[in-house]
Amino acid sequence: MDDHCYYSKWFENPHIIRLLYVDDMLVAKSSMKEIVNLKAKLAKEFSIKDLSLAKKIFGMRINREKRLLKIS
């Protein structure tokens, strides 16, 4: 994808998606263990604040249904 705010990393299984905007980051992955692992690595390098589950991004509401994220 040709966007300066979108970063993805492929692992053996599905990849992890990171959306960046100024000083905010949204992380999406099917494995919570991988998200926790990424947060720990970032915390070693940067001062971070975990705001828990996202409810909105770019003015759009995030809905969670089973293992799917829907943006409206």
Question: What's the pLDDT score for residue 71?
Answer: 76
Answer yes or no: is 41 within a domain. Answer: yes
Structural domain total, the chain:
1
Determine, yes or no, domain membership for 1.
no
Residue 10 maps to a domain: yes
**Structural domain containing residue 60:** 6-71
The pTM (predicted TM-score) of the whole model is: 0.62
pLDDT digits (tens, 9 = 90+) for 15-24: 777 777 777 7
Q: What is the model's pLDDT at position 27?
A: 82
pLDDT tens across 16-64, in order? 777 777 777 888 777 788 888 888 988 999 998 888 888 887 788 888 8
Q: How many beta carbons lie within 10 A of that of residue 29, not counting itself?
A: 20
C-alpha 63/C-alpha 48 separation (Å) is: 24
